[in-house]
Amino acid sequence: MPIATYDQYCQMLDRAKDGGFAYPAINIVGLESLNAAMQGFAEAKSDGIIQVSTGGGAHATGAMKDMALGARVIAEAAHVLAEKYDVLIALHTDHCHPKNLVPFLDPLIAFSRERVQKGLPPLFNSHMFDGSELPLAENLEISVKYQKALAEMNMLLEVEIGVVGGEEDGHDTSGVGKEKLYTTPDDMVTANEALAPLGRYMLAATFGNVHGVYKPGNVVLKPKILRDGQDAVQQKLSTDKNPLYLVFHGGSGSSQEEIHETLGYGVIKMNVDTDTQYAFTRPLVDHMFKNYDGVLKIDAEVGDKKAYDPRAYLKKGIANMKDRVRQAVTDLKAEGTSMLHA
């Protein structure tokens, strides 16, 4: 099945919110992780979201470190590979901070515009602008600009208000005051008032979530912040329950209880990166330890080509990451929910 259309993507998000589940959004950096993610979704019979960060895009072009070009290459590969799977895949770009709008997001939007003008679908289904480091008014001013540009091509915008702690792709917010880790209901109302008139969007509101892996007790999540924000927007607009499409960032190490609680508050997308990184790397380490004298040419020996051929260990990484994607699908109650299997 080709990459999800705009209407299919919107249906995916609606089905998640109405059904009380969420899609794992899997960060990828190349063909190995792309295949692992698609295989995981297909085996779980779940539609899913695959996303590329600025760092992932830069990695995909090697020494060039061209983040936009790398994201484009990965996305174009995804368009080809997705046709071989019987689930829907949506393509998204992860955190784009203000400094990366010009080198990353703007070129990708321009390329999608060229595709649309030729009668093709846009390259990605949605993009994220992370202006959380800015004052809210400035964050929303830029967000509105990009939402308008994306809406013209039937694409969605994800925005972040409040700060996700920790470090990701070289962006370190560990020094941010703890109060910044918790979005207020008033901020969620303000964001919705700015963005909702322009169409559908996704909101990453923060409730103590932090990028990376931390020991139990180091991260204090307050999921009810999401409930309170949803209630505030609902009362303001007199809408149905959970009017916002919420995104859960920094979920590594969260308990099942905390994850499931957020699903009841309208979380429809949860980013998964740290856990799948480890899942990919763990069997590679195991391979190297077990085949030490095969992957290295020790004491003038020739080693074992079957051991040091990259395909020998990369396929193990793919298989283990695929299993971790399946686990993420199950954790988020999305198993068996694909629109193509309904």
Residues acting as catalytic residues: 94
Please say whether the beta carbons of 209 and 251 come within 8 A.
yes
Cβ contact 143:175 at 8 Å: no
Strand partners, 210: 165
| DSSP secondary structure, 269-338, as one string | EEEE-HHHHHHHHHHHHHHHHHTHHHHS-GGG----HHHHSHHHHHHHHHHHHHHHHHHHHHHTT-TT--
How far apart CA 256 and CA 332 sit, in angstroms, is 9
> Distance of CA 245 to CAs 110, 160, 188, 266, 336, Å?
26, 12, 11, 6, 21
Structure tokens at 156: 């969605």
Determine the distance from the C-alpha atom of residue 264 to the mean position of all C-alpha atoms in its chain, rounded to a whole number.
20
Contact 205, 188 (CB under 8 A): yes
Strands (E), the chain: 23-27, 48-52, 89-93, 126-129, 156-161, 167-168, 171-172, 201-205, 246-248, 267-272
Which structure tokens are listed for 61? Answer: 């072009």
Instruction: State whether residue 155 is helix, strand or coil.
Output: coil
CA separation for the pair 150, 207 (Å, rounded):
27
Contact status, residue 116 vs residue 153, Cβ threshold 8 Å: yes
Whole-number Å distance between alpha carbons of 6 and 123: 11
